[in-house]
C-alpha cells in the first residue's frame, strides 16, 4: 500500500533496472486504493491468507446492508430509561435486574436494506458491529500475464 505516484515510479525504475518490461503492465491498473503483493509463493495460498483479514465495522446511516442483521437474545446492558429505541423498531424489551433484555432474536435489517438512523443508533448502543470489510483480490499477474481471481479455483494440471 502506498501513494500511487510513488508506486508507479518504483515500478518504472524496477522495469528499467531489470529490463523486465512486463512490470509496466501494472501502471494503468494503479488507480484509487490499490495494494500490490509480490510473492514467490503459491498465489492461491496468498489469496486465501489475504482474504482472512477482515475488520468489523459499525452500521452507518445510509449504507446498504451487505448481510441480514439480527439482534441476538440476551441482556443488552442498557438501562430501562432507553427502551424507546427498541419500541420504535418493534423489538419487545423485558426489564431484568435493572437492564433491558431482548427475549427473542429480531431481524433488524435484511440484505439490501438501507441502514436508518434508528437502526444505526440501536446497534451502536448495543455495541454490535454487524458488517465487516477486507481486501478484495481483483487481478493476479504471473510471468507477465494477468489472471482473474476465479482462475485460482481451477484444478492444477500437471
Sole residue written with cell 434508528: 118
Q: Is the pLDDT of residue 157 over 70?
A: no
Residue 7: its pLDDT value, please? 82
- Mean pLDDT score, 90-113: 81
H helices then E strands: how many in the chain?
Answer: 4, 9
Which cell goes with 111?
440484505
pLDDT tens profile 76-94: 777 777 777 667 767 777 7
Residue 58: its pLDDT value, please? 85
Q: Which of 88, 83, 90 is nearest to 126 (CA)?
A: 83
Q: Are residues 114 and 123 in contact, defined by beta-carbon separation less than 8 angstroms?
A: no
Q: What percent of the chain has pLDDT over 70?
A: 83
Q: Is the pLDDT of residue 158 over 60?
A: no
Domains, the chain: 1-36 (no CATH), 37-53+135-158 (no CATH), 57-132 (3.90.105.20)
Q: Which of 71, 95, 69, 73 is nearest to 82 (CA)?
A: 95
Residue 125: its pLDDT value, please? 81
Amino acid at each position: 500500500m502506498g501513494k500511487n505516484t510513488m508506486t508507479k515510479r518504483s515500478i518504472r525504475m524496477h522495469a528499467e533496472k531489470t529490463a523486465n518490461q512486463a512490470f509496466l503492465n501494472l501502471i494503468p491498473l494503479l488507480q484509487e486504493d490499490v495494494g500490490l503483493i509480490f510473492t514467490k509463493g503459491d498465489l492461491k495460498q496468498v489469496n486465501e491468507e489475504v482474504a482472512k483479514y477482515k475488520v468489523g465495522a459499525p452500521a452507518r446511516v445510509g449504507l446498504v446492508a451487505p448481510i441480514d442483521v439480527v439482534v441476538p437474545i440476551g441482556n443488552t446492558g442498557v438501562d430501562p430509561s432507553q427502551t424507546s429505541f427498541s419500541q420504535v423498531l418493534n423489538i419487545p424489551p423485558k426489564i431484568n435486574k435493572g437492564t433491558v433484555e431482548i427475549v427473542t432474536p429480531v431481524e433488524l435489517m435484511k440484505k439490501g436494506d438501507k441502514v436508518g438512523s434508528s437502526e444505526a443508533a440501536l446497534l451502536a448502543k448495543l455495541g454490535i458491529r454487524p458488517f465487516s470489510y477486507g481486501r478484495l483480490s481483483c487481478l493476479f499477474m504471473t510471468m507477465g500475464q494477468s489472471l482473474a481471481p476465479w482462475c485460482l479455483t481451477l484444478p492444477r494440471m500437471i
